[in-house]
Amino acid sequence: MANQEICRLLDLTGKVAAVTGAASGIGQGIARRLAEAGAFVALLDIDEVRGEATAAELREISGASLFYKCDVTNARDCERVSSAVYGDWGRIDILVNNAGVVRRKNVVDLTEDDWDLVIDVNLKGVYLVSKHIIPYMRKDGGGSIINIGSGWSLKGGPDAVAYCASKGGVANLTRAMAIDHGPEGIRVNCICPGDTDTELLRSEAVQLGADMDEFMREAAARPIKRVGRPEDIANAALFFASDMSSWVTGAALVVDGGGLA
């Protein structure tokens, strides 16, 4: 029988979680894991079809989930949706800033439009959604914010200047937010995934003109010899969302099968 104290620490029953980029990939995996732990999950994404389908799936797990169409690069959208989530659920305990895009180019070949897109989605999006949700968390005495960075938050990578810049920014933004909002009972942490088998990862192979099978074999070349799965990242998110990590803030947790070791 599982230890009751451990179960209590991981139990999210009655908590409300907002997850950006939740219609697919890592965001969807995190939303599912939080629902399995008992949370009510608000799914934020620009993909209405898959967002609504994911919400329907999660309602079978936790009994409550809603989809909200949201462009994380648009300040008015973020303010509107944050207000709607709080209005519908009466609280927001957990925020997962996961929405992201990648453009695999060096600084010479990258267009200004692509630079703006990656920085806006990956970094500005974290700022905008957090800006509008933190006041609700503050009102109710605290919460947990989980920012999704990357292994390239902590080191450089080839042909990915905008992505590396944005994810490096996410890691240090996390630290600054943890300092500012810790006294308000809000913990802010960052997960730094390695290559995880999602549409986003596979799109990188297409952008680079690489053979997909070879690209995925290279992605698996790490001490634990496989690419990540969304549930690997979701398990780390559950740790940060739960009382298991009640004295952890400002941290960057690498979840990459040893790729940075």
- Nearest residue to 50 via CA among 81, 82, 27: 27
Report d(CA 149, CA 98) in Å as an integer. Answer: 8
Question: Does any domain span residue 215?
Answer: no
Is residue 163 annotated as a catalytic residue, yes or no?
yes
Question: Does any domain span residue 211?
Answer: no
Residue 253 forms beta bridges with which residues? 191
State the total domains in the chain: 1
Q: What is the DSSP string of 150-176?
A: -GGGTS--TT-HHHHHHHHHHHHHHHH
Tell me the three state secondary structure of residue 146. Answer: strand
Question: Does any domain span residue 92?
Answer: yes
Instruction: Please report, in tens digits, the pLDDT of each residue of the chain (261 residues total).
Output: 568 999 999 999 999 999 999 999 999 999 999 999 999 999 999 999 999 999 999 999 988 999 999 999 999 999 999 999 999 999 999 999 999 999 999 999 999 999 999 999 999 999 999 999 999 999 999 999 999 999 999 999 999 999 999 999 999 999 999 999 999 999 999 999 999 999 999 999 999 999 999 999 999 999 999 999 999 999 999 999 999 999 999 999 999 999 999
Question: Does any domain span residue 155?
Answer: yes
Global confidence as pTM: 0.97
Residue 207 is given by DSSP the state H
Q: What is the CATH number of the domain that holds 176?
A: 3.40.50.720
Is residue 201 a contact partner of residue 219, using CB atoms and an 8 Å limit?
Answer: yes
The one catalytic residue among 68, 86, 127, 163:
163
Question: Does any domain span residue 9?
Answer: yes
Question: Does any domain span residue 54?
Answer: yes
Report d(CA 118, CA 23) in Å as an integer. Answer: 19
Question: Does any domain span residue 225?
Answer: no
Domain interval for residue 242: 4-192+234-254
Strands 143-148 and 94-97 turn out to be: parallel
Question: Does any domain span residue 101?
Answer: yes
The tokens describing 122, both together, are 């990956």
